[in-house]
Structure 1
Amino acid sequence: MSIVRPRPIVPGDRRARRLSLWLALATLLLLIVSIGIGYAPLDIFKALQDGLAGRDSLESIVLVELRLPRALLGALVGFALGLTGAAMQGLLRNPLADPGVLGVSAAAAFGAVLAFYSGLSLLVPLALPLGGLAGALVATGLVYGIAGRGAGTMALILAGVALSSLCGALTALALNLSPNPYAAIEIIYWLMGSLADRSLDHVWLVLGPIALGTALILSTAPALDALTLGEDSAASLGFDLARLRLKLVVGAALVVGSAVAVSGAIGFIGLVVPHLVRPLTGHRPGRLLLPSGLAGAVLLLGADILVRLLPVRPELKLGVVTALIGAPFLFWLIWRLRRTG
């Protein structure tokens, strides 16, 4: 007897669509603001005119080489972290899950550190993000290989925690054995997370993996909604849970690995954003995915703008600022869970 699936419940109700539209407009506005903010004033319209006319003026060079890549990466990285955080919380049914729960973030960071440590980053301009992407993909294979296709959610969590601990230890070992103290300091600064000094090459490098990973994660929306009823109920409705986990693991690896590869470790975005958006989407994991990604882009762009507006030179690392914002929210969330529990 064939199983008739219910009509997919996707992020398509009126309130979720309206929320996504407003968040998309906010992202666009912050993109423009981010392009206009820096150490020196920039006439965006003049820079655009010079660029379209083929004139290599100072304004057009600053726009194309500095401001535009930073703004675009802010939106992409924020979207990646917010989307993956919502997906992981839906898969694990745990409000404290974040994009790094499967160990992909730590593995991507270790891959980038290896590029630093081996000296490849000095020889190949994009060795750093490529190393991060390679680390994320290797982590995906290890996590899924250790847990196995038929393994449950708990096996994925344990494999991710083990891999994250191992990669963290290897990163610390690389710092400990680094023969050059200046290289060690540079690695530490990169691990703090930042969008400064990125180019359009970084944007093009991660755009494809983030787009593919986003498509995989968004395609799991109906299954995540069904999973709120429990794994047995979701399976009885015709959803293949092993396939769901595979899609989310691969999607998270592509999205988060790409984000960490170009920006370093930026924490708390993927943890905080789903909680901010969830009450506005009816507490449905499927509806939450797209708004959470857009809200992540808004929050990260806002934090990056704040970094440049603060009277601190050199500017604070973006990962430090997001941690300062996110840690108090985490304490509040734990306190609220204790009260409601």
Structure 2
Amino acid sequence: MDAPNDPQVKVEGPAERQVRQREERMQLPKIEVKYVPEEWKVLYKEQHTEKFNASVEFLQTMMGINREEAEETLLDILTKTTFIEINLMVNGAQDAEKLFGNLLEAKNEELGIPFSSQQEVADFCDGMSLIFRKESNEYRNAGVQGRRLVQELKKRLRGGDSIDEDNIHQVLEEFCENIEVDERLKNFAQQEAGLDYPSLRDISKTIPEFNYDKTTGRLGLSPDADKSLMLNAPIFTDTIHSSHEKKLDRSRTISALAIYSKTTYPDCQRFFTDDEKIRGVEARIFWKRPRQDGNMPQNGNGPQNGNGPQNGNGPQNVNRPKTRNPPGKTAAMNCPRKTTSQIKARNPQN
């Protein structure tokens, strides 16, 4: 092993790190709603290899089919899932009718879309409750950590663990210790699962393979849990844009109070949330500002226009307070549940 002071060992400096990070960002798949299943299939095979292969193996065993058939079946489900997931991400929460209409607008001219009716879309989303949460007849994307938690609870229960209201906090602590994300996002990631599943009862109401005993406060599994693809295939915790640095999921919003911290260039105010659900999460708000000619920008680009991104990227998509708040005052606002460009997990005490 080379010694730390070996002149042949190159130490990455700030400039080199910026170049590397920029190159990594350029390799991220573009977030767009168009249906391109062949591109997605390649991404799943080449960039999500480990979890994809493990999921194929589970499907082989569960269905008693060969690898080629299992791979084809899984990719069909994954491309449908990705198609809907991206549409919700870009266009926000939608009911089945609106979602089907938006999917039609994003159709591939040669392939069309993989759904023939809004009922077919609804049935697919309902069958993938780990990925798509239904609230007031509208579908939303579930958070990555919520998906991971559900699969982890299934493994623990099948392993003989007892999970109830008395020990769930310890289970969550152990789960959070194994979350691997950028340090800036760790605080938020550790709280994300609770946004989708505030209690064990919520898990049983959302995921049909779970059941909850009100008398004992204990979480249990149905006999079908071992056959459930979404509970046993790890690829569903790592879909194409799960770790996308520029992802802004418009289907995932929550209301919270924010405390003003400071204003930075260019005309950006920073707030810390004051809410038990997402305590310590920071939001950045870019204010509307007219150009020198007095008109607001019309092209939807840049952080000052306040229109919010249309492609799922960028930091503009926040409902802004109408007036600026002095230090110590609170402002009601909506924050996306999962976005690396807009919400940073940071302890406000630091």
Normalized against structure 1, the TM-score is what? 0.25
Higher helix share: 1
Higher RCO, Cα 8 Å, sep 6+ = 1
Higher strand share: 2
Q: Rg: which structure is higher?
A: 2
